[in-house]
């Protein structure tokens, strides 16, 4: 009846990344062909459509839906035929009596570490798709504290990982080569790349935003082609429900804010508050129901784009 309103608000709050991180210090994950193959076996499009009602969009970037995203990054989709070809190129050609891929008489077996049981609805699909090509996957559910400890100590094959985004990224914290080997750093996958190191060294002396955007886009392109993560999905929006008694600015939240914004931006609207009280007492009363989606900040971008270009 409009007493409670629901909104999906699109803006430019940094998404960060979410996905399965490889431990490239371990074989066979030190081979980029294997990592790419495992990415192509993760049917994330199907998962988003069937399990999440198509509410999310696939991530192709480590700086998803931001000004730093490199739009030339590979768009990795489910492709078991390509995955098998890549595995063969990496030496995984033979199968044992159980139909499992083997190399040097060792079967391809790996473990996924995760901290929420709800992730199993995705991982069991992945487990079955990997089984079809001859890879055994063990799922290991642990407490958040245990996962963090094992991740920081590099005791994993693949780990479900999510990192919050920054409005102004600081790539060296996560991708600098000197942080790949020591434990308890954010370079959990162990990436070492001389070009990323060069960019990080210069990045701290870049004071123009446009220059930094170019630098981060180059890093993003390198990361995407190194396949250190099986990137999953994200939603460039925030969803919430609220009693129909508030006034708020256009866009509901700030251009780069999130669901924590309302307490500092919204106010009690006396007229709405009175109508809400009346409607709570009268079950026949209907309040105005606003649009469930708001794209003010996306429209705002279109308005200011010509000004920024000029």
Percentage of the residues of the chain whose pLDDT score is greater than 90: 90
The contacts of residue 293 (CB under 8 Å, 6+ apart) are 7, 8, 9, 10
The H or E element spanning position 35 is helix 32-40
Q: What is the dihedral of CA 150, 155, 157, 158, to 10 degrees?
A: 20
pLDDT tens digit string along 115-127?
999 999 999 999 9
Pair 83, 41: CB distance under 8 Å: yes
- In this prediction, residue 236 carries a pLDDT of 85
The average pLDDT across 143-165 equals: 96
Q: Please determine, for residue 277, whether its predicted confidence score (pLDDT) is greater than 50.
A: yes
pTM: 0.89
Q: What is the dihedral of CA 166, 198, 148, 151, to 10 degrees?
A: 150
- In this prediction, residue 65 carries a pLDDT of 87
DSSP helix/strand/coil, 154 = coil
Quickly state the pLDDT bin for 305 (edges 50, 70, 90): low
Rounded to whole angstroms, the Cα distance separating 32 from 24 reads 9
Q: Please determine, for residue 168, whether its predicted confidence score (pLDDT) is greater than 60.
A: yes
Tell me the CA end-to-end span of the chain in Å, nearest whole number: 47
pLDDT tens digit string along 14-69?
888 999 999 999 999 999 999 999 999 999 999 999 999 999 999 999 999 889 99
Q: Please determine, for residue 310, whether its predicted confidence score (pLDDT) is greater than 60.
A: no
The average pLDDT across 142-171 equals: 95
Write down the mean pLDDT value for the chain: 95
Quickly state the pLDDT bin for 259 (edges 50, 70, 90): confident
């Amino acid at each position: 009846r409009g007493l409670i309103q629901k909104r999906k608000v699109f803006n430019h709050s940094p998404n960060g990344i979410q996905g399965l991180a490889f431990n490239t210090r371990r074989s066979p994950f030190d081979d980029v062909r294997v990592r790419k193959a495992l990415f192509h076996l993760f049917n994330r499009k199907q998962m988003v459509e069937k399990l999440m009602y198509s509410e999310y969009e696939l991530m192709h970037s480590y700086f998803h839906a931001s000004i730093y995203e490199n739009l030339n990054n590979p768009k990795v989709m489910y492709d078991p035929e390509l995955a098998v070809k890549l595995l063969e190129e990496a030496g995984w050609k033979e199968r044992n009596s159980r139909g499992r891929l083997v190399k040097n008489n060792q079967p391809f077996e790996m473990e996924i570490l995760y901290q929420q049981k709800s992730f199993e609805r995705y991982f069991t699909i992945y487990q079955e798709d990997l089984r079809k090509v001859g890879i055994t996957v063990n799922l290991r559910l642990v407490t958040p504290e245990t996962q963090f400890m094992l991740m920081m100590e590099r005791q994993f094959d693949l780990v479900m990982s999510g990192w919050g985004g920054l409005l102004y990224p600081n790539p060296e914290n996560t991708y600098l080569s000197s942080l790949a080997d020591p434990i308890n750093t954010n370079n959990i996958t162990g990436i070492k790349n001389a070009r990323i190191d060069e960019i990080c060294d210069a990045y701290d002396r870049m004071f123009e935003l446009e220059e930094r955007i170019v630098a981060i886009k180059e890093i993003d392109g390198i990361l995407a082609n190194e396949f250190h993560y099986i990137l999953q999905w994200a939603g460039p929006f925030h969803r919430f429900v609220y009693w129909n008694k508030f006034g708020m600015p256009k866009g509901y939240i700030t251009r780069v804010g999130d669901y924590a914004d309302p307490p500092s931006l919204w106010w009690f609207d006396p007229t709405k508050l009175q109508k809400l009280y009346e409607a709570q007492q009268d079950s026949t009363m209907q309040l105005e129901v606003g649009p469930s989606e708001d794209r003010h900040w996306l429209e705002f971008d279109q308005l200011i784009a010509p000004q920024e270009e000029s």
